[in-house]
Amino acid sequence: MEPTIFTRILRREVPAAIVHEDELTFAFMDAGQLNPGHVLVATRQQAETLLDVDEDTAAALFRTVHRVARAVQAAFQPEGLTILQANRVAGWQTVPHLHVHVLPRHPDDGVGLVWPRKNPSLEELRRIAARIRL
């Protein structure tokens, strides 16, 4: 597997503004900065998606997301936060390395998300739920 840009950042082969590192995760400023304080939190393990890591790694990732989100809130006082984790190209993933965006939000910041509702019936929702029930 070729190293991703995130793996290369972790190895210090590519410069980045690192916010946090621990044994399972690291966090750094998104070079694209949709708003000031936009941080990416990634796994040290080069895994493509959330489905490719074990539960402990996933938990560690979201513990770090929580810590970073609190730090971003304290530093920038945004009116909202968007936490975004995408898997595979169809799910909007652009770098094939498991990561989460911590994005401070402000009214009219120009960041959008299209979410066309399908509004299935309750019966259909129950059929779908039965397929995924744990």
Parse the chain into domains and list their residue ranges.
5-132
Q: Residue 50, Cβ neighbours under 10 Å: how many?
A: 19
């040290």: which residue's tokens?
44
pTM for this structure?
A: 0.94
Q: What is the pLDDT of residue 115?
A: 86
CATH number, span 5-132? 3.30.428.10
Q: What is the 3-state secondary structure of 37-103?
A: CCEEEEECCCCCCHHHCCHHHHHHHHHHHHHHHHHHHHHHCCCEEEEECCCCHHHCCCCCCCEEEEE
List the chain residues with pLDDT less than 50: none
Q: What is the pLDDT of residue 1?
A: 79
The catalytic residues are 99
Q: What is the pLDDT of residue 95?
A: 97
Q: What is the pLDDT of residues 63-89, one digit of tens each?
A: 999 999 999 999 999 999 999 999 999
Q: What is the pLDDT of residue 106?
A: 96
